[in-house]
Every structure is written in C-alpha cells, then in structure tokens.
Chains A and B, each alone.
Chain A
Amino acid sequence: MDSSNTIWIIIRRMRIPFLVIIVTFAISILGLTLIPGMDDQGHPYKMTFFDAFYFVSYMASTIGFGEAPYSFTYPQRMWVSACIYLTVIGWFYGIGSIVALVQDKRLAREIDLARFRNKIAGLREPFTIILGYNNITHRIIDWLNDEGIRVVVVDRDEEKITALELENFIPEVPALTADVTHPETLKMAGIHKRNCQAVVSLFEDDVKNTKIALLCRLLNKRIKLVIKSTTRTQSEHLKNLGVRYIEDPFLFVSNRLYLALTSPSLWLLEMWIFGHILKIREREELPKGHYIICGYGRMGHALERAFKKAQISYSYIDIKSTQYKEEKSSAVFGDAEDYRLLMEAGVKEAAAIIAATKDDLINLTILSTAKKLNPHIYTIGRENTIDDVTIFRSARINRIYILEMILAEFTYLFIARPLAYRFVRLLHTKDEKWGRQIVEKMHEVLGENPMHFEITLDEDHAYALARELKKGRRITLGDLRRSREDRNKTYPILCLLAKWDEKRYEMIPDDSLPLEEGMRLLMASDEESRSDFEYIVNNYYELEYVLTGKG
C-alpha cells in the first residue's frame, strides 16, 4: 500500500472530467477568437486568445461578468449560447465527480489510513499496540494513559473503533479498523518504530493469538509481546516462539488461589501490588476444609492443580454451561436434579464452593443454591465479563475472580510497571514465613494502606542523585530514607526490589545497599513521602542535606 493512494484515487476518477473540461474550453475559446466582433467605435475586431480565455473562464464557471471587452455582435452571441451549454455541462460534470468522490467509501478509507499513519508517525512517546478493543483493553488503555504510555488500537470491527473514538481518551488513542492478523496492519500500527514497546493480543481465539505472536516476532524481535493463551499446548507453542509473556487467565487464578490457600501473606502482597489495602479483611480469609468445584473446564482444571499442590481435599461437579443450557433450556441452576448433584458432592459439609463455569448466570445461581443448602458455606465465583460487577457484588459472594479484570491488571503491570511485575513473580518463589515478616515490616513502617512506585536512577528521573553517583560518591539506600526536614528522622518508605539488570536484582534490600547509577527501584511509601523522596533525588541542596547535614 502506497501512502499516496488517496491522490491516485482522485486522479483516476478525475481523468474524464478533466478531459471534458479541457476540450469544451478549447472549442469555446477557439470559436470566440475566430468569429469577428465589433468594438465600441464600430470597427471590426477579433478577440485575442487572452480575451477569449478570460471570457470563457467566467462563463463556464457561471460567474458571468458580462460581455467583454466590447458588447458582442449577434454571430458572437450565437456562438456563446452554444458554448454556455457546452462548457457549463462540462463544468458541472467535473464538480459532480468531485462530490461523488468525497462520498466514495474507498477514498474515505484511504484518507483514514493516511490520517492514522500520520498520527503514528507523530508519536514521540513510548507506545503500546493493543489489538482488539473491548472491556479488558478499555481498562488497560485508561491505566496506560495515566502512566504516560501512549496506546494504538487496531480492531477489525468498525463499530468498536467508533465506540473508542467516542470515548475521548486523553491523550488521544489512534485507532484503525483493519484485519489484525495481517502483517501490513501491524506495520501501519508502528510495530517497526523504535518507541513501540509492546503488542497486546488478548483475543478469545487462541489460534489467532498465536498467529499474531508469530507475526510480531518476525516483524520485530525486540518488542514485548503480551499474548493470551488458555491451554497448556498453546502456551508451549508461544514459548517456543520466544514470547516472554504469556497470559493464561486460568493459570493466574490458579496461582492466586494456591497462594491464598497456602500463604495468605504472599497473597496479600500480590493483591496489594494490584491495589488492595495491605490487610486481609475478615471475609477474605479462606476457610479450611473441603472444597467443591462446579464446572470442570479449563478453569476447573486449573483450580484442581492449585488444590492438588496445596494438598487440600476437593471434589468437582462437571457442569458444562453450554450443554446445561441446551438440555434444560434454562440458564438458571437449581432444579431438583441440581440439588441432588450438590448434595452428592457434599455441600452440607463443605467449607467452600467455587462456581467456575463460563456462564455468569449459572455461576450466580449455583452459589445461591449452595447458600440455601448450607448457609455457612464460603462462596467463590468466576465472573467472565467486567460489565456486571454490581450484580455479583450484591449477590454477597465472598470472593469473585473476574477473569477480564485479572487479564487487564497483569497486562498493565507487565507493560507499565516492570518492577512490580517482577516482584509479583518473585513472590511465588517465597514462603509464608518470609511473607509474614515482610508484611509485618511494612505495617510497622508504612501502615496499612501504602502505595508503590518505581524509579530509575538516571538523570531523567533522579537528576541530582544520578550526577552524584556518576562522580563516584557512595550513597546507600538508607541515606535516601532520611527526612529533608530533619535528617535524623526517616520517612515511611521502603524499597521492595532493586534491579540492576535482568539477571541481578535483590528483594527487600538492606538500608546499607550502595546505589548505582541506572539501577531501578520499586518503592513502597505513602503519597507524601513519595513526593519528598522524588524531591530529594532531584534537588542538589536537599540531597546534600540528607547526605551530610549541610546545605
């Protein structure tokens, strides 16, 4: 596809109208120069080409300034009457063609493409290409925009793109209607650009995701790929392609459940990274005892793995939502047979029940039926779409796993908060004892509702500090925790993860850790200390004060 397609379409369509205009003009002008006229003193004269051109130009365009340079004679007028019809028709034909061209779908499409290309070319900030626009990606766009990461969206469905344009994202999100599995589309979306960081593909269809992953890998090796995969074999394929980040929502849920079952502190830390407060609420404590899984599909299998690993007794009821709806022609769980199923699975004695089918209504009714049979049972529901969160909330379900939300959160973390993402990954290698220590330490220093942020120790983000480190000055992490009002006091601020490069990192580093230029830190603090911290690392005088007490 050429970038000048727009012009070519116009040119091709305007050829005949142009020809008609030229020929009619030429005939009229020639005629006028040949027919003898008469000037104001009665002398015969012939119009020159310039006079004729001037006259025909305003006659054909129906401007009509009158007869020039002198009043016409009758032979001239007869010729002009013929010319009027000839040229005006030619002129209108030309204008009609232009109007038709403006309404042309193909041209409109080309203009859209050209505009999209210009927008991509104008992107100076780092950006992410998101394929497919839906509830999940909507959230991701919101979050990424907050972080100052620009987003480009491509979707095959024109209506979705229109919906996106109506959202009025700030900054603007360039969007294009096109087939996302086409390499040309990806190129247009800027996959080759230096500031393109990542491609996100979270389609329902695993095969489509894999195809996109392959294309992206071939088009740009350096780019981060966020690809959804819901089966193990698919994930294997993706790994072989060299995709570093594979999003399996079921695996996420399974891992999270495993953490919650075996090590609540680590679970709490992970949830805190995603915006939970740093405290386990009473209703969030998972009970000990027997678990029932309803639904034995991809999610059911993933949950089973978690239970097996955690060595917790469980049983499952195999309900397939589509089959269920077909057989009973109802999406409401809870007839006599269903009661019997639940009783057989031991709902009266069970500690918790998980509704994990891919139909939200069935999940809701499973849980309400179980509650009826055993009022003390702990309910866990799978919610498939973000849309109707309120319904699940008001159904008083103890814990909800919203798959789309989890996908959105992980994608955001991976793209915008690489350190926090690494921290979450590392949590899964730790044990409960370690986790409890960390949580206690954080409670002690930071209270129950701290936030987290990342900072790179370079001149862009920590000017003064980076300059000092470059000079070879020894500065430790503990130095930076000192208050800028009184350096003997410390701010409520903690470093969770220090990273030098992909291989070298340290979790919860000690205060004596010497800092190096270019390293990245994941910090936990409250809002106020964060701004103080950023002030200190950027300002020479403040930095000098906290380091030496002078200045």
Chain B
Amino acid sequence: MNTQKVISGFFFILAMTVNFGFFYGDPANLEYHSAYELFAAIVVNLIATILKLGDKTQLGSVLLATSLVADIQLIASATVWAFAVYVSKNVGLESAVAIISLSGGALIANFVSVLLFIGDTLKSKR
C-alpha cells in the first residue's frame, strides 16, 4: 500500500463527493444547498490542487488542470453567492441557478480528475 496514493486518492475523491453533495438538489432553491458543504468543497478542492502540484508528468499536468478548473468554478460560485447576499441584497432565482450550475461545472472537472486518477492506478502494475 502506498500512503502517498491513499492520501491523494482520498482528497481527489472527497473533492468530487463533497462537490456532488452540494450540487445535488433542486437548482432553483438554495434552501436545499448548504453553504457549509460549498465551503468544504472549496477547501478540499484546494488541498487536492496542492497535492497535484509538482508532478511534472503528462498525466500530472492534466490532473492539475482539472483541479484548477474545479477551484475556479467553486470559488466563482461562492463569489456569486456573497455578491448576491451583500451587494444585490436578495438572492433571486437567477443567482441561485448560477451558484448551483457553477458548482455543477466543477463537479464534471472533478469527475474527469477522478477518472484519470483511477485509470492511471489501473494501468500501473505495482
């Protein structure tokens, strides 16, 4: 068993699952989506990104790219939320849908990342 692999695998998959947890539910209704879950998704995604840093291989670069995409989408989602609450003073339907769909995009990036990770693991003989 490779500890490094366990740790990175853990964070990659957790990033995806937490992301899914936030995304799942009626996209028009923010009541079904917990801000804590979005926060957790952002933190776990950032950690996953750091873990992917420094791998100079082809696969490492693609993994890093997917992670960066997920980070940007999730942070954008949180920013839209904060903007809706504090600047426009009401969270309307439009902002609710934007928040959820942005996190949906991040989910796909995370999904790709996990797929690549699993594919690489299956390929290696050790």
Chain A positions near chain B (C-beta within 8 angstroms): 2, 8, 11-12, 14-15, 18-19, 22-23, 26, 29-30, 33, 48-50
User: Would you call B35 an interface residue if the criterion is a C-beta within 8 Å of the partner chain's C-beta atoms?
Assistant: yes
Checking A12, A14, A29 against B39 with a beta-carbon cut-off of 8 angstroms, the contacting residue is A29
* Nearest residue, chain B, Cβ from A34: B36
**B85 CB contact (under 8 Å) in A8, A11, A48:** A48
Interface of B is mostly: helix
B50 contacts A19, C-beta separation under 8 Å? yes
When the two chains form their complex, are residues B35 and A11 in contact, meaning their CB atoms are under 8 A apart? no
Q: How far is the CA of A23 from the CA of B82 in the complex (A)?
A: 22
Q: Write the nearest CB–CB distance from B47 to chain A, whole angstroms.
A: 6
A11–B50 alpha-carbon span in the complex (Å):
9
Question: Could you give 7 example pairs across A and B, Cβ below 8 Å?
Answer: A2-B56, A12-B53, A14-B53, A18-B50, A19-B50, A48-B85, A49-B35
Partner of B78, one of A12, A22, A23, A49: A49
Do B47 and A50 touch (CB < 8 A)? no
Q: A30-B39, A49-B39, A50-B86 are in contact. Are A8 and B50 (CB under 8 A)?
A: no
A12 & B54 in contact (Cβ 8 Å cutoff): yes
CB neighbours (8 Å) of B53 from chain A are 11-12, 14-15, 18
B46 / chain A contacts, CB cutoff of 8 Å: 22
Nearest to B44 among chain A residues (CB) is A26
With CB as the reference atom, state the residue of chain A lying closest to B39. A49
A48 to B36, CA, bound (A): 10
Report the nearest A residue to B42, measured CB to CB: A26
Given the complex, which residues of B lie within 8 Å of A8, measured CB to CB? 54, 56
Question: What is the interface of chain B, defined by CB distance below 8 A to chain A?
Answer: 35-36, 38-39, 43, 46-47, 50-51, 53-54, 56, 78, 82, 85-86
Q: Which residues in A have their C-beta under 8 angstroms from that of B47?
A: 19, 22-23
* Smallest CB separation, A44 vs chain B (Å): 18
List the B residue with the shortest CB-CB distance to A17: B50
Rounded to whole angstroms, the CA-CA distance of A12 and B56 in the bound complex is 10
CB distance from A83 to the nearest CB of B (A): 15
State how many angstroms separate the Cβ of B116 from the closest Cβ of chain A. 20
Residues of chain A with a CB closer than 8 A to B85's CB: 48, 50
Residues of B within 8 A of A49 (CB): 35, 38-39, 78, 82
A76 to B106, CA, bound (A): 33
A15 engages B54 (CB within 8 Å): yes
Complex Cα gap A14–B36 (Å): 28
Name the 4 nearest CB pairs between A and B, nearest first: A26-B43, A50-B82, A12-B54, A18-B50
**Distance between Cα atoms of A22 and B36 in the complex (Å):** 16
Residues of B with C-beta under 8 A to A2:
56
The answer, among B35, B43, B50, B86, for a CB contact under 8 Å with A15, is: B50
Chain B residues, CB < 8 A from A30:
36, 39
In the complex, residue of chain A having the shortest beta-carbon distance to the beta carbon of B83: A50
Chain A residues near B39 (CB, 8 Å)? 26, 29-30, 33, 49
Residues of A within 8 A of B51 (CB): 15, 19
Closest to A26 in B: B43
A50 contact set on B, CB distance < 8 A: 82, 85-86
Nearest residue, chain B, Cβ from A54 = B82
A23–B46 Cα gap in the complex (Å)?
9
> Inside 8 A of A19's CB, which chain B residues have their CB?
47, 50-51
Residues in B whose Cβ lies below 8 Å from that of A29: 39
Q: Is the CB of B50 within 8 A of A22?
A: yes
Residues of the B chain whose Cβ atoms lie less than 8 Å from the Cβ of A12: 53-54
A18 to B50, CA, bound (A): 7
A-B contacts besides A26-B39, A30-B39, 4 pairs, CB < 8 Å? A2-B56, A12-B53, A22-B47, A48-B82
Report the minimal beta-carbon distance from B49 to chain A, rounded to whole angstroms.
9
A27 nearest CB across to chain B (Å) = 9
| Residues in A neighbouring B43, C-beta threshold 8 A | 22-23, 26
Chain B: minimal CB distance from A275 (Å):
54
- A9 CB → nearest B CB, Å: 10
CB-defined contacts of B35 to chain A, threshold 8 Å: 48-49
In Å, the complex CA distance between A151 and B13 comes to 55
Closest to A27 in B: B43
A39 → chain B, closest Cβ, in Å?
15
Closest CB in chain B relative to A254 CB, distance in Å: 56
The distance in angstroms between the C-alpha atoms of A19 and B53, with both chains bound, is 11
B96 to chain A, nearest CB (A): 16
Could you tell me the distance between the alpha carbons of A18 and B78 in the complex, rounded to whole angstroms? 21
Q: Which residue of B lies closest to A29 (CB)?
A: B39
For A5, the closest partner residue in chain B by CB is B56
B35 → A minimal CB distance (Å): 6
* A residues less than 8 Å from B78 (CB atoms): 49
Whether B54 contacts A11 by the Cβ 8 Å rule is: yes
